[in-house]
């Protein structure tokens, strides 16, 4: 038979501490940084985000999301034969979050590795898992996006520290006789490294450079809208489908203005846009699977719906995946 892959289960997890804009503004005021709920909502659409406790790592968030996805798929943990984690905030320099997560799940032996494509990471990871299933290298893949981005934030910079949050999302991707993932399109352009980065590294037990996020917001916005539209249209063309075939658009949840602009360029009504950025903030590689699981569990997304997933992130990386849920 021709091998395809389909999503059979979704899961997500948010750390308990929820920080509204008003609460964050109050904390920042104590550090001499001015902002407000109105200022944040007007520019980003974000109303709240979740921050993990200091002792909680990406693998801990990923573990909860993974368990929920595996349960939703009707599988046992021991059925999983591939683990891919998309993250920019690993528990340690090495080994990978995927290996740590594998151990926390109580399994061993299957391949496990991380993908680092920042906010595009989940789209990259899903594409790789699909290819491995189609090749026969795996049958039941666990694909996770997990981030503790709060650890990278400069809380003296109000233009960036209000944007991000922590969380995890996961899907189980299984071999299928019918196509689930219909097409994908991935890209990167390293010349844009400087507009969104954490320009530090570890040497001799110390951080060289800066371990805090730096972003040129205007440059990111301008680039993001164009490449998201292009990737979506290319992916639709590969699948032989049109904008009107899309039931739900699930973009990386970075900024509501970028998301609205992308939907309009694809001639999609805003009613077809899945939005969680208002409650989660930008959770980087976790944002797409978080939004997907939220929409599935709320009953918005149903079996047979055509979904366009797309992301853009530091690197600069971008891509899209079209799938039949």
Strands 206-209 and 200-203: antiparallel
Q: Which of 281, 8, 54, 290 is nearest to 164 (CA)?
A: 281
Candidate list 50, 192, 252, 280, residue with the active-site label: 252
Residue 21 annotated in active site:
no
Q: Residues with Cβ < 8 Å from 135, sequence gap 6 or more?
A: 3
Q: Residues with Cβ < 8 Å from 206, sequence gap 6 or more?
A: none
Q: How far is CA 82 from CA 10, 77, 108, 179, in A?
A: 16, 11, 10, 19
Candidate list 99, 119, 161, 197, residue with the active-site label: 119
Residue 110 annotated in active site:
no
Candidate list 50, 99, 161, 282, residue with the active-site label: 282
Residue 119 annotated in active site:
yes
Q: How far is CA 43 from CA 131, 159, 160, 218, 261, in A?
A: 38, 10, 11, 12, 14
Instruction: Enumerate the β-bridge partners of residue 146.
Output: 168
Q: Residues with Cβ < 8 Å from 193, sequence gap 6 or more?
A: 314, 315, 316
What residues are labeled active site?
119, 252, 282
């Amino acid at each position: 038979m021709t091998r395809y892959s389909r999503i059979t289960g979704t899961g997500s997890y948010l750390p308990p501490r929820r920080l509204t804009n008003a609460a964050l503004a109050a904390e920042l005021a104590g550090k001499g940084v001015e902002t407000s709920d109105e200022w944040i909502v007007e520019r980003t659409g974000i109303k709240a985000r979740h921050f993990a406790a200091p002792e909680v790592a990406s693998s801990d968030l990923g573990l909860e999301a993974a368990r929920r996805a595996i349960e939703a798929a009707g599988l046992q943990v021991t059925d999983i034969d591939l683990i891919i984690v998309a993250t920019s905030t690993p528990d340690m320099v090495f080994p990978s979050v995927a290996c740590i997560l594998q151990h926390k799940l109580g399994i061993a032996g299957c391949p496990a590795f991380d993908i680092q494509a920042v906010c595009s990471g989940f789209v990259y990871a899903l594409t790789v898992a699909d290819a491995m299933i189609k090749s026969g290298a795996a049958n039941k893949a666990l694909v996770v996006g997990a981030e503790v981005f709060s650890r990278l934030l400069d809380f003296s910079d109000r233009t960036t520290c209000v944007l991000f949050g922590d969380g995890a999302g996961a899907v189980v991707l299984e071999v299928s006789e019918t196509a689930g993932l219909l097409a994908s399109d991935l890209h990167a352009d390293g010349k844009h490294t400087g507009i969104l980065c954490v320009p530090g590294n570890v040497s001799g037990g110390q951080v060289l450079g800066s371990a805090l996020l730096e972003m040129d917001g205007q440059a990111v916005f301008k680039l993001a809208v164009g490449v998201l539209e292009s990737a979506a249209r290319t992916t639709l063309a590969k699948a032989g489908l049109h904008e009107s075939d899309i039931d739900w658009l699930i973009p990386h949840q970075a900024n509501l203005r970028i998301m609205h602009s992308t939907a309009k360029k694809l001639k999609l009504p805003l009613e077809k846009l899945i939005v969680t950025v208002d409650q989660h903030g930008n959770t980087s590689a976790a944002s797409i699977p978080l939004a997907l699981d939220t929409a599935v569990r709320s009953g918005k997304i149903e079996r047979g719906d055509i979904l366009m997933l797309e992301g853009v992130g530091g690197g600069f990386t971008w891509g899209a995946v079209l799938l039949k849920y």
